[in-house]
Structure 1
């Protein structure tokens, strides 16, 4: 019996190592507000923790980071639902979701929160060029992952729309999707390069064209 217990304990340790030993936690400090109550009713902490886990796995696959050694050294990802304005923000490995946004959202709030958590989880895991990457690109990569996961809202711009490749969010996400269609795995390669720094020349290094020419080609393809 002792041998069986020891073997089972060893199995648990092995499974934890395989999973990268990342933990996911969520709390709701706004449970007394209308938005916090709606979060509890329509989304829930257990569901949110599962989304953070699923999103992290999806992000690792999108970034081609199969091994824990390929990723940022993050051991825990946390979510706090707070009585704050805006939508959400991420600081280090902590995601902060606005209960006010949840309370005022007019559509399917569970689907919306899921998409927001995918976006914010990217900020936990992505490389940012050691702080030198273009802010619009950082947000665009986060929305690109949200797009590929199937949680893009209907109000997002259509392919080809937008004024600049680094406009951020949905505009840049659509552009990155185009770039990835030229060379599957482009976004993963771009993110990997951003581990050590950042240059717009990364686009040319991967795709053979500078980013401004790629933007022109993208606009021409979709008539944007």
Structure 2
């Protein structure tokens, strides 16, 4: 898990020192039967739906789907969210970016329309740079 943590901190979240990082010492994964989503993460607890996993028949093999799911949810564990005040599309977009950057499959886009505001045809890296330019404090 250390390799995943380092990837998230250095490549995605750009948190190069421990002082920059969300102080999560342990991530817990709970597999349970629930309906309503693939997984739900709160703080350092990732709840993965056994119903979703059992019924999965998507375009990827199961292992790659699970890796994508966990990459997305692990991002939530380590990202800052403004004490739950950050817009959900920003929080989810960063977690989706993790999957894209790691060359994993992006299963969903949380209802966001990537065809709006001139984004069509732009690579994800350019969209991120555009976003950072619009909001200078974002790393």
TM-score range, shorter chain: 0.7 to 0.9
Shift in Å, 1:109? 0.9
The RMSD of aligned alpha carbons is: 3.1
Output the CA distance in 2 between the equivalents of 1:136 and 1:58. 22
The residue number in structure 1 matching 2:72 is 119
Q: Is the 8 A contact 1:90 1:123 kept in 2?
A: yes
Q: Is the 8 A contact 1:144 1:177 kept in 2?
A: no
Q: Is the 8 A contact 1:81 1:99 kept in 2?
A: yes
Q: Which has the higher helix share?
A: 1
Q: Deviations over 1:36-85 (max 9, x none)?
A: xxxxxxxxxxxxxx4xx433221101222222222011110111111112
Instruction: Sort the Cα spacing of 1:114 and 1:69 in 2 relative to 1 into closer, same or farther, 3 A.
Output: same
Residues 89-100 of structure 1: matches in 2 within 5 Å?
A: 89-100=40-51
Q: Is the 8 A contact 1:119 1:146 kept in 2?
A: yes
Instruction: Sort the Cα spacing of 1:87 and 1:141 in 2 relative to 1 into closer, same or farther, 3 A.
Output: same
Shift in Å, 1:143? 0.3
The residue number in structure 2 matching 1:101 is 52
Output the CA distance in 1 between the equivalents of 2:79 and 2:64. 23
Give the TM-score normalised by structure 2. Answer: 0.76
Figure out how many residues of one structure are paired with residues of the other and give that number.
129
Q: Is the 8 A contact 1:141 1:176 kept in 2?
A: no
Is residue 2:132 matched to residue 1:180?
A: no
Output the CA distance in 2 between the equivalents of 1:206 and 1:73. 21
Q: Which structure's CA Rg is the greater one?
A: 1
Is residue 2:134 matched to residue 1:203?
A: yes
Shift in Å, 1:161? 3.5
Q: Is the 8 A contact 1:87 1:98 kept in 2?
A: yes
Give the alignment partner of residue 68 of structure 1, picking from 18, 33, 40. Answer: 18
Contiguous gaps of at least 5 residues in structure 2: none
